[in-house]
Amino acid sequence: MSTDPSLSHADVEPHSGGISAKLNWLRAGVMGANDGIVSTAGLVVGVAAATTDESTILTAGFAGLAAGAVSMALGEYVSVSAQRDTERALLHKERRELEEMPDAELEELTALLEGKGMSRPTARTAAKEMTERDALSAHAEVELGIDPGALANPWAAAFSSAVAFTVGALVPLLVIVLPPADLRVPVTFVSVLVALALTGSVSAWLGGARRGRAMSRVVIGGALAMIVTYAVGLAFGTATA
């Protein structure tokens, strides 16, 4: 395959922080969908083991979807808000240090660049040029691993988590009501395992991991969840019959 000679290696290989952040968000979305599939599938399979009433199954399923989506969104909002607060505090501290002791901060940046493999003269020159361009961004990225212009957004994280969970939860909710009553559980069981295998495969691809192992983990976990909840539903259904 030919490559435009005007493009540098960095242009061809998408290793930028922006790409990494997008992959992290996508991976989180896949895992959110996986949670939605497993938790909702376990719920509807358990209820289906206790009753054949479609309305009861759907009510339980949608209640579980709503509760799960809200829980995921709230948890993600709190987590990302804490992360954002920490990042802001670190940036404020770094900004103050740059104002109060610029020479010491320049020396610190030089040492950090040396630690990355640069020679002392090259590191000193690079540190000066980076400081002249944007001292805070230079120190934030090299020292703290933070991009001041791309802090995590808790609202976006909460929304994406809720959407991902909802999309995943719709799979077992739709499948559980389509087949006849006597086939609901086996059809849902198989369909959910196929969906989990897909999310496991995508997650492994995004993380560069082995697909077989990742798929096995989520499929076995989902199967165990449905078996346990089916047994519970069957026991309660028999007890209340």
210 lies in some domain: yes
1 lies in some domain: no
pLDDT at 25: 67
pLDDT digits (tens, 9 = 90+) for 128-170: 888 888 888 888 888 888 888 778 788 888 888 899 999 999 9
pLDDT digits (tens, 9 = 90+) for 47-103: 999 998 999 999 999 999 999 999 999 998 998 899 889 888 988 998 898 888 888
12 lies in some domain: no
The stretch 124-129 carries a mean pLDDT of: 88
CA separation for the pair 73, 162 (Å, rounded): 5
Half-sphere exposure (CA, 13 Å, Cβ side) for 137? 10
| DSSP string for residues in 150-208 | S---HHHHHHHHHHHHHHHHHHHHHHHHSS-GGGHHHHHHHHHHHHHHHHHHHHHHHHT
The domain in which residue 147 lies consists of 17-237
Predicted structure pTM score: 0.75
4 lies in some domain: no
Number of domains composing the chain: 1
57 lies in some domain: yes
2 lies in some domain: no
The stretch 5-15 carries a mean pLDDT of: 41
Q: How many CB atoms lie within 10 A of CB 197?
A: 17
